[in-house]
Chain A
């Protein structure tokens, strides 16, 4: 992740409310084009971080860089490229969907057709002249996303967009969000406290708990942390096992397979060493750990 261009980069980001550190020393790094899942239990500091990223709150200390520019110094320029949905979407319920978006469109000085395009993406075009107070929660969330999409934003920050939705609504929003990076050529940061949601949506994950970032990396890296076992079919089996033991790996033979502990074992390195030594490797797989267990271990909420 170090080489990739970062769209969001915070350094030592801290927010203290009356001696309570809601966010502490946060180094968030979101690469361009990522679907970044910002995961944490309720009250972990996700919304506070997002509010700081949008300039709604100032940090107590630390810096925020978006698109390699410091937010504190280039707020207006940066926010032109950022679309957001912060917690429950905000609407003027006495106005129609179109009128709500028209307010944003006018402020941003966008062409009139932008509203129809955004409503088309979130599948609300049919209801554009209906007052928002008549909308279901799912429709309101979709309208919130449409608002965030107005003006071809390069970065979308969505704070708990599936909150309060029924399973069908969650699925609808999830499918919409997953399609956004390709459709809009945008980077998406989505926060949630629901692990399964993030697992289905994100390719990068940041886990925050009690204001501190506990993990940051790709979803594959997170899963690798909790990987239970690596299974290898190598020929000849016993010699391969001896070879790996000699290299310091804890190997066990189970039937016609070698089993290595999943945690802290570099799968690629094991494969490389076996192949370079001339062993025939016909099968290589991993038994993934339960993401929920990994999450609970990280957040220290495991018994």
Chain B
């Protein structure tokens, strides 16, 4: 375990002064700013809509925010996975790292973990921003902690599959930009995949669309398929990386 933690720490050291930190920290702020403007300008209109009858302001905020965040999250996850791997391709770092006395599986897991931790930071940052928007807008109801906690947890589980797939793609394709392009196309088309629940189960890019804790949305897709696909891709990626030839 010591070696694994050292590798994870090394991944974060590599990201020092990288543009990834501003992206991870600014994306929730950007999303929150847009949602704040939306609710600040249209609060009465949104609360008065028939579709929102019986919903608390917190729920309305979450539902409105989700339209934006369900795309921002997988996009940023795709960027983080590509950037963490791109650094090795750009600096020809694979050969240097893998010529060290370290297990290949742990090197791969450390990369995956770094991407996962950055995305947890992103998701938690988003949840904190939502909380601050509610406070800033002075919602009369007390915060629905369960709602926000469920939303946060579902996103973390749902994004596992996308991270697993993107890390695998990034490690197997010698150009991280190709994996980035695949990710962007996947995210852009995720809404189409999400039209069919059967199809969406197996498309990691669509899993984040199913994270809204709402009775009409099948959260099982985000929860179970997100986690299962995530573990499957992590396993496949690790196996592939064990035998990857560094040219």
Q: Contact string, B1-16, partner A, CB cutoff 8 A, digits 1/0? A: 0110011011001101
B102 within 8 A of A: yes
The segment from B71-79, B89-97, B163-171, B210-218 found at the interface with A is: B89-97
Given contacts A57-B247, A76-B101, whether A88 and B92 have CB atoms under 8 Å apart is yes
A52 to B246, CA, bound (A): 10
A76 to B14, CA, bound (A): 23
Q: How far is the CB of B91 from chain A (nearest CB, A)?
A: 5
Q: How far is the CB of A52 from chain B (nearest CB, A)?
A: 10
B18 within 8 A of A: yes
Residues of B within 8 A of A84 (CB): 96, 99
A51 to B95, CA, bound (A): 8
Q: Are B93 and A54 in contact (CB under 8 A)?
A: no
B46 within 8 A of A: no
A77 to B102, CA, bound (A): 10
Residues of A within 8 A of B94 (CB): 90
Given contacts A51-B95, A55-B98, A55-B99, whether A92 and B87 have CB atoms under 8 Å apart is yes
Q: Considering only CB atoms, which chain A residue lies closest to B245 in the complex?
A: A57
The segment from A97-105, A166-174, A186-194, A209-217 found at the interface with B is: A97-105
Residues of B within 8 A of A2 (CB): none
Q: How far is the CB of A111 from chain B (nearest CB, A)?
A: 14
Q: Are A82 and B99 in contact (CB under 8 A)?
A: yes
B100 within 8 A of A: yes
Residues of A within 8 A of B97 (CB): 107
Total interface residues on A, using CB and 8 Å? 33
Residues of B within 8 A of A175 (CB): none
B84-126 at interface with A (beta carbon < 8 Å): 87, 91-103
Given contacts A57-B247, A90-B93, whether A104 and B100 have CB atoms under 8 Å apart is yes
Q: Are A79 and B100 in contact (CB under 8 A)?
A: yes
Q: Contact string, A29-61, partner B, CB cutoff 8 A, digits 1/0? A: 000000000000000000000010011111000
Q: Are B6 and A107 in contact (CB under 8 A)?
A: yes
Q: How far is the CB of B110 from chain A (nearest CB, A)?
A: 10
Q: Are B93 and A92 in contact (CB under 8 A)?
A: yes
Query: Quick one: which of A56, A76, A92 contacts B246, CB cutoff 8 A?
Result: A56
Q: How far is the CB of A165 from chain B (nearest CB, A)?
A: 18
Query: Quick one: which of A58, A87, A92, A147 contacts B14, CB cutoff 8 A?
Result: A92
Q: Considering only CB atoms, which chain B residue lies closest to A75 in the complex?
A: B101
A82 to B99, CA, bound (A): 8
Q: How far is the CB of B100 from chain A (nearest CB, A)?
A: 6
Residues of B within 8 A of A91 (CB): 91, 93
Total interface residues on B, using CB and 8 Å? 29
Q: Contact string, A143-187, partner B, CB cutoff 8 A, digits 1/0? A: 000010000000000000000000000000000000000000000
Q: Are A94 and B101 in contact (CB under 8 A)?
A: no
A91 to B9, CA, bound (A): 17
Q: Are A51 and B93 in contact (CB under 8 A)?
A: no
Residues of B within 8 A of A86 (CB): 95-96, 99
A134 within 8 A of B: no
Query: Quick one: which of B2, B7, B14 contacts A95, CB cutoff 8 A?
Result: B14
A90 to B91, CA, bound (A): 5
Q: How far is the CB of A8 from chain B (nearest CB, A)?
A: 15
Q: Are B13 and A77 in contact (CB under 8 A)?
A: no
Residues of B within 8 A of A108 (CB): 100-101
A88 to B90, CA, bound (A): 12
B198-246 at interface with A (beta carbon < 8 Å): 243, 245-246
User: Chain A: residues with CB nearer than 8 A to chain B?
Assistant: 51, 54-58, 75-80, 82, 84, 86-95, 99, 102-104, 106-109, 147
User: Chain B: residues with CB nearer than 8 A to chain A?
Assistant: 2-3, 6-7, 9-10, 13-14, 16-18, 87, 91-103, 243, 245-247
Question: Can you report 21 A-B residue pairs in the complex whose CB atoms are below 8 A from each other?
Answer: A51-B95, A55-B98, A55-B99, A56-B98, A75-B101, A79-B101, A82-B99, A90-B91, A90-B93, A92-B14, A92-B91, A95-B13, A95-B14, A99-B16, A103-B10, A103-B14, A104-B96, A107-B97, A108-B101, A109-B6, A147-B96
Given contacts A79-B101, A106-B10, 12 further A-B contacts (CB under 8 A): A55-B98, A58-B245, A76-B101, A76-B103, A77-B101, A79-B100, A82-B99, A88-B92, A89-B96, A92-B91, A94-B16, A94-B18
